[in-house]
């Protein structure tokens, strides 16, 4: 059964965060706070941050991670919220694959499968990106990716950790995020 676009109950969703311009750690932590403060979004869990090699033109390393939320928003409204938060952190859309202050991608929205330019879920590139699957596996190893039918843990283990340079455990969540759980350390 597919997830309705307009949920009647809360839907679990997974979001990828990335930054390679400015103070990336502060930006990513700020983005988590913005998500936690957003209407109709509960932040459930956050992964560690990973420093990773950029793909595309020569540019600084990225800091990447993932979080899980629960929301009563429809998928389109959630994506709008992610784009609003990107803009709030000064995201300017430059060259494709170019450096960015903040990039937020909707990875999974329940078991919804949708393929449109404005919204493709599961995210079309998530299965080929160690900087997505490795942090996501910290917090959602048992979640079955709906297209492949495999769990995130299986997919992450199969893909490996190519391009990941360093894992940085998150600082403890501020009091405004009581639901926050820290990702479990990876067995390395
Ligand atoms: P980018 O900033 O390169 O991630 O691209 C953002 C654009 O991709 C936005 O205009 C979105 O409408 C579109 N898009 C399609 N599917 C997704 C998704 N799953 N997550 C984030 N953006 C998406």
Q: Where are the domains of the chain?
A: 21-168
Domain 21-168 class in CATH? alpha beta
Q: Which residues are catalytic?
A: 91, 100, 103, 105
Give the three-class secondary structure for 140.
Answer: helix
Q: How far is the CA of 85 from the centre of ligand 1 (A)?
A: 13
User: For the whole model, what pTM was predicted?
Assistant: 0.87
Residue positions counted in the chain: 188
Of all protein residues, the one whose alpha carbon is nearest to atom 12 of ligand 1 is 118
The CA distance from 65 to 51, in Å, is 9
Q: 106-159: per-residue pLDDT in tens?
A: 999 999 999 999 999 999 999 999 999 999 999 999 999 999 999 999 999 999
Torsions phi, psi for 161 (to 5 deg): -115, 35
Q: 162-184: per-residue pLDDT in tens?
A: 999 999 998 766 534 433 344 43
Q: Which long-range contacts (CB under 8 A, 24 or more apart) does 92-95 make?
A: 95/57
Residues with CB under 6 A from ligand 1: 79, 103, 105-106, 118-121, 123
Of all protein residues, the one whose alpha carbon is nearest to atom 17 of ligand 1 is 119
Of all protein residues, the one whose alpha carbon is nearest to atom 11 of ligand 1 is 118
Decide if 67 contacts 35 (C-beta within 8 A).
yes
Give the three-class secondary structure for 54.
Answer: coil
User: Scanning the structure block, which residue is given the tokens 């390395």?
Assistant: 188
Q: How far is the CA of 7 from the centre of ligand 1 (A)?
A: 21
Which of 21, 75, 87, 119 to mutate to test ligand 1, by most ligand atoms within 8 A of the CB atom?
119
């Amino acid at each position: 059964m597919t997830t309705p676009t307009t949920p009647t109950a809360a839907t679990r969703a997974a979001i990828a965060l990335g930054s390679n311009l400015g103070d990336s750690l502060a930006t990513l932590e700020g983005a988590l706070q913005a998500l936690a403060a957003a209407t109709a979004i509960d932040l459930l869990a956050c992964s560690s941050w990973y420093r990773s090699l950029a793909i595309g033109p020569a540019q600084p390393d990225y800091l990447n991670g993932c979080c899980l939320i629960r929301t009563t928003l429809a998928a389109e409204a959630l994506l709008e919220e992610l784009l609003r938060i990107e803009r709030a952190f000064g995201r300017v859309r430059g060259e494709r694959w170019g450096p960015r202050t903040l990039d937020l991608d909707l990875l999974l929205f329940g078991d919804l499968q949708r393929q449109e330019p404005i919204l493709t879920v599961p995210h079309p590139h998530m299965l080929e990106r160690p900087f997505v699957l490795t942090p996501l596996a910290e917090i959602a190893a048992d979640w079955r990716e709906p297209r492949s039918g495999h769990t995130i843990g299986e997919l992450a283990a199969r893909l490996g950790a190519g391009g990941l340079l360093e894992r940085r455990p998150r600082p403890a969540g501020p009091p405004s995020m009581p639901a926050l759980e820290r990702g479990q350390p990876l067995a390395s």
